[in-house]
Amino acid sequence: MKSNEAILTVTGITKIYGNTLALNNVSFLINSGEWVSVMGPSGSGKTTLLGIISGIIKPSSGKVILTGKEITAMNDEELSLIRRQCIGLVFQEYNLIPYLTALENVMMAQYFHSIVDEGEAVEVLHQIGLAERMHHFPAQLSGGEQQRVSIARAIVNRPLLLLADEPTGNLDRTNAQRIMEIFKQLNEELGVTIICATHDEFVASFSHRTLILHDGRLSGERVR
Amino acid sequence: MNPVTPILFRTFVVAVLAFLLYFTSTHIKAISRRVALLTLAYLWGLLWSGLYLAQFTNAGYRIDKVFVLWMLNTFLITGVQTYWWLASKNKQPSWINHMYMVLVFVIFAAIISEADMSFRHLAFLKLNRVFIPIGHVALLTGGGLSITIALIITRRWNTIVERIHPAFPLLLVFACVFLFYPNVTLLTAMVFARIAHDVFHWASVFLLLPDHPYLSNLVWEIIGLLFKKGTGVLIAHGAFAILAATAFGAFYYHRDIPPEELSGPERRLWLAANMRRKRLNMIFLVPVFISIFASLTHYRIKSQAIFDPDPVPVELNKDGRVYIPVKDTGDGSMHKFSVSIDRVKIRFIVLKKPDGKWSVVLDACNICPPQGYAQITGALFCKYCGTPIPLNTVGLPGGCNPVPVEFHISDGFIIVDGKQLKNTWINSTRGK
Ligand SMILES: Nc1ncnc2c1ncn2[C@@H]1O[C@H](COP(=O)(O)OP(=O)(O)OP(=O)(O)O)[C@@H](O)[C@H]1O
Ligand SMILES: [Mg+2]
């Protein structure tokens, strides 16, 4: 499903926290339907980069253009709109709402996007193999299951771009593999563009391309 | 003459002309239709504001206030027209557009029949021998302002404008008309009631049938209710409130079905947008009902300005005549007296008219039950049927005019013959 059409252009992004240079003049381009990993040691700026792409963090300088719209020039209102409609987020900590069931957690995302549709939410949970457990609360689910719920939540509004920050960080190999299978399915069948930050070579091996960050600099690139 | 006939006739002529203009222009080019619409809007604003202006100058209002009123007026009317035009551009005219035009024509026509005597006030105002085209200046300012604002709104808040159904600004215009032009409500209510009455009455006359024997007093009283000012206003407002509520209800509960090609999140987005659109339109309900309420309150307060004094009892003199001192009655408002002659209780009115002449009339007419008259600005009106009688015509016979009484003035007294007063009263109130 890869195409030669850039969905995301990152140009000269620099982010400075006090006297920490978290990102230093990072530029790259991602095509629609691509699956890209971002690797690098701890503190190299992966989380900061994903935060800037999703508009949660404002860069000190540089530009991010998503589907032709300049994210870095948007106000909060426009940002939250584009985040709701175009971007799905998955984190290492699953960030599920503890007093809502799996199904309700997914429906919450629908609510913030537009309106809820239970059938559709059930369908997505089905797709990631959690249909049996959808009425369970997060505390009653295993780590891998919780992460799958958070993926369901991220994809229920069919984002163009899925941003995942160490999605398998807390999971064992079996569960990590499972998550990767889901990503693969999303990427191949629905054409979702994926950017996944990780320091796990196994996880990176699923992607088309890997960007390597070192001390906030883009130091290399690997193509599978 | 039947007062409805000229109104109907002129209404008809104007309606025909306007429809010709509108419907022929739809067949030429979209652009010329728009020009025609805006021209009509302009004329409409001109007419309304001219009427308003005439009313206010007659009432001695200051010219700068009139100017502002005129401007606001054009602003309202041209603004909504322009908004509607911009919002519906690139679209086929829908039923609502046609309805809008019908509304314009109906009011246009109803008003023009009243307006012709005010037309000379329209374009120019004579101030210190200089003719000032104040109307045009005000129109250009108001119209220009409203078009500019409409343009800004449609550019800046385009997404919002697209979500507003034109029916709702239309309702708002109705409500504003109610608020700013209480006479329109009255006119609509009374014209319909009067047409109903006249059709029946004149049909009876035509068939040489007296209508009173087979339509009892009760029936006439019920019909008469519609002629009353207060009732007419209430009916018009109530009908409008019901119309507005129904329109909102129908709109809100109308089930919109998303396009079939949409599914999943896109379908949900469509539904959510639709919901927001409905909520946005519901906001119009608030000003519409505030306007109705304010208009009714305004009317209630205004109607308390009616002068309706209790009759002052007087005695018959030994010579069988009634003597009223001239100096007590010359202030321009009506003075009611009551006198008992042979156990018949008679009420009559003494009035110094604006033309300086005196009139003595019964507090009753030949048509209605003798509920008497009250005074408003520039007129008496019959408390039964609501017909206004301009002050200068008080003392002329016929219709719902108060029945004139013979009198003469000497030595500072208005002198009325008692026997004649009694006979006139008995003749005109018999059987009612
Ligand atoms: N809010 C903040 N305030 C100050 N410094 C920050 C902040 N967020 C991140 N940093 C610093 O910026 C640098 C990059 O951090 P970032 O979280 O992007 O790294 P990372 O590659 O995601 O690391 P890890 O693999 O441990 O998650 C680090 O040196 C971090 O200390
Ligand atoms: Mg991190």
**Tens of pLDDT, residues A32-44:** 999 999 999 999 9
Confidence of residue B432 (pLDDT cuts 50, 70, 90): low
Q: What is the pLDDT of residue A132?
A: 92
Range of lowest pLDDT (A56-60, B200-204, B278-282, B364-368): B200-204
- Span A93-100, mean pLDDT? 88
Average pLDDT, chain B: 70
Phi and psi of B395, rounded to 5°?
110, -15
- Span A185-196, mean pLDDT? 93
- Are B265 and A157 in contact (CB < 8 Å)? yes
Q: What is the pLDDT of residue B1?
A: 33
Which residues of chain A are within 8 Å of residue B271 when distances are taken between CB atoms?
114-115
d(CA B62, CA B127): 12
Q: What is the pLDDT of residue B116?
A: 39
Task: Please check the confidence at residue B27 and state whether its pLDDT lies above 50.
Answer: no
The edge-to-edge listing of strands for the beta sheet with A6-17 is A20-31, A6-17, A61-66, A69-70
- Span B403-409, mean pLDDT? 91
> Which contiguous run of DSSP H or E holds residue B75?
helix B63-87
Task: Please check the confidence at residue B97 and state whether its pLDDT lies above 70.
Answer: no
Range of lowest pLDDT (B97-111, B171-185, B220-234, B281-295): B97-111
> Distance from the CA of A46 to the center of ligand 2, in angstroms?
6
- Span B272-288, mean pLDDT? 82
- Span B379-390, mean pLDDT? 78
Scanning B278-337 for CB atoms below 8 A from A yields none
pTM given for the model? 0.57
C-alpha closest to that of B48 among B108, B99, B102, B103 = B108
Confidence of residue B117 (pLDDT cuts 50, 70, 90): very low
CB B49 within 8 A of CB B69: yes
CB B421 within 8 A of CB B412: no
Confidence of residue A81 (pLDDT cuts 50, 70, 90): confident
Q: Kindly identify the ligand whose nearest atom is closest to the C-alpha of A213.
A: 1
> Distance from the CA of A48 to the center of ligand 2, in angstroms?
7
Q: What is the pLDDT of residue B342?
A: 87
Confidence of residue A12 (pLDDT cuts 50, 70, 90): very high
- Span B285-305, mean pLDDT? 73
Task: Please check the confidence at residue B101 and state whether its pLDDT lies above 50.
Answer: yes
Range of lowest pLDDT (A114-123, B162-171, B316-325): B162-171
Which residues of chain B are within 8 Å of residue A115 when distances are taken between CB atoms?
268, 271-272, 275
**CA closest to B273 among chain A residues:** A114
Which SS3 state, helix, strand or coil, does residue B175 take? helix
Tokens of A207: 């992607």
Detail the DSSP E strand segments found in B82-230: 125-127, 130-132
Which residues of chain A are within 8 Å of residue B273 when distances are taken between CB atoms?
114
> Distance from the CA of A154 to the center of ligand 1, in angstroms?
23
* Chain centroid to CA B10: 17
Q: What is the pLDDT of residue A133?
A: 93
Task: Please check the confidence at residue A115 and state whether its pLDDT lies above 70.
Answer: yes
Task: Please check the confidence at residue B142 and state whether its pLDDT lies above 90.
Answer: no
Task: Please check the confidence at residue A58 and state whether its pLDDT lies above 80.
Answer: yes
Q: What is the pLDDT of residue B59?
A: 43
Q: What letters, b where the CB count within 10 A reaches 16 and e where it falls short, cover B388-418?
A: bbebebbbeeebbbbbbbebeeeeebbbbbb
d(CA B259, CA B27): 32
Question: Which residues fall within 8 angstroms of residue A59, CB to CB, at 6 or more apart?
Answer: A13, A14, A15, A23, A52, A72
Does B262 reach chain A within 8 Å, measured CB to CB? Answer: no
Q: What is the pLDDT of residue A66?
A: 94
Q: What is the pLDDT of residue A52?
A: 95
Q: Kindly identify the ligand whose nearest atom is closest to the C-alpha of A41.
A: 1
**Tens of pLDDT, residues B40-74:** 555 555 555 555 555 544 444 445 555 565 566 55
Residue A116, min C-alpha distance to chain B (Å): 8
Question: Which residues fall within 8 angstroms of residue A161, CB to CB, at 6 or more apart?
Answer: A7, A8, A53, A66, A86, A87, A88, A192, A193, A194, A195
* Chain centroid to CA A220: 21
**DSSP single-letter state for residue B310:** P
Which residues of chain A are within 8 Å of residue B266 when distances are taken between CB atoms?
158
- Are A115 and B275 in contact (CB < 8 Å)? yes
d(CA A143, CA A20): 33
Residue nearest to atom 4 of ligand 1 (CA): A17
> Distance from the CA of A156 to the center of ligand 2, in angstroms?
24
Q: What is the pLDDT of residue B273?
A: 85
Q: What is the pLDDT of residue B280?
A: 81
- Are B268 and A85 in contact (CB < 8 Å)? no
- Are A158 and B269 in contact (CB < 8 Å)? no
Question: Which residues fall within 8 angstroms of residue A187, CB to CB, at 6 or more apart?
Answer: A1, A33, A35, A193, A194
**Tens of pLDDT, residues B309-360:** 889 899 888 898 999 988 888 888 899 999 998 888 999 999 998 888 899 9
What are the pocket residues of ligand 1 if the criterion is a CB atom closer than 6 Å to any ligand atom? A 17, 20, 22, 40, 42-48
The edge-to-edge listing of strands for the beta sheet with B344-352 is B312-313, B335-341, B344-352, B358-365, B402-404
C-alpha closest to that of B404 among B358, B369, B339 = B358
Task: Please check the confidence at residue B397 and state whether its pLDDT lies above 90.
Answer: no
Phi and psi of A153, rounded to 5°?
-65, -40
- Span A99-106, mean pLDDT? 93
Q: What is the pLDDT of residue B220?
A: 63
- Span B222-231, mean pLDDT? 66
- Span A49-70, mean pLDDT? 93
Q: What is the pLDDT of residue B327?
A: 85
Q: What is the pLDDT of residue B225?
A: 66
d(CA A107, CA A95): 15
Residues in chain A: 224
Residue type, B431: G
**DSSP single-letter state for residue B181:** -
Interface test with A, best of B269, B278, B279 (most A CBs within 10 A): B269
Which residues of chain B are within 8 Å of residue A85 when distances are taken between CB atoms?
269
CB pairs A-B closer than 8 Å: 29
d(CA B263, CA A115): 13
Residue nearest to atom 5 of ligand 1 (CA): A17
Confidence of residue B143 (pLDDT cuts 50, 70, 90): low
Question: What is the value of ipTM here, to two decimals?
Answer: 0.79
d(CA B61, CA B186): 23
Q: What is the pLDDT of residue B259?
A: 86
- Are A113 and B271 in contact (CB < 8 Å)? no
Q: What is the pLDDT of residue A178?
A: 87
Detail the DSSP E strand segments found in chain A: 6-17, 20-31, 35-39, 61-66, 69-70, 87-90, 161-165, 193-197, 209-214, 217-223
Tokens of A53: 């792409």
Which SS3 state, helix, strand or coil, does residue B359 take? strand
C-alpha closest to that of A7 among A22, A24, A23, A28 = A28
CB B186 within 8 A of CB B229: yes
Task: Please check the confidence at residue A152 and state whether its pLDDT lies above 60.
Answer: yes
Task: Please check the confidence at residue B205 and state whether its pLDDT lies above 80.
Answer: no
Task: Please check the confidence at residue B93 and state whether its pLDDT lies above 60.
Answer: no
> Distance from the CA of B406 to the center of ligand 1, in angstroms?
106
> Which contiguous run of DSSP H or E holds residue B212?
helix B211-214
Does A157 reach chain B within 8 Å, measured CB to CB? Answer: yes
Percent of chain A clearing pLDDT 90 (strictly above): 67
Residue nearest to atom 25 of ligand 1 (CA): A42
Tally the C-alpha atoms within 13 A of residue A86's C-alpha that lie toward its C-beta: 18
> Which contiguous run of DSSP H or E holds residue B35?
helix B30-58
Contacts 24+ apart (CB under 8 A), B13-21: B14/B105, B14/B108, B14/B109, B14/B112, B15/B105, B15/B106, B15/B109, B18/B101, B18/B104, B18/B105, B18/B108, B18/B109, B19/B105
CB B104 within 8 A of CB B44: yes
- Span A118-146, mean pLDDT? 91
C-alpha closest to that of B375 among B397, B349, B395 = B349
d(CA B129, CA A156): 77
Which residues of chain A are within 8 Å of residue B265 when distances are taken between CB atoms?
110, 113-114, 120, 156-158
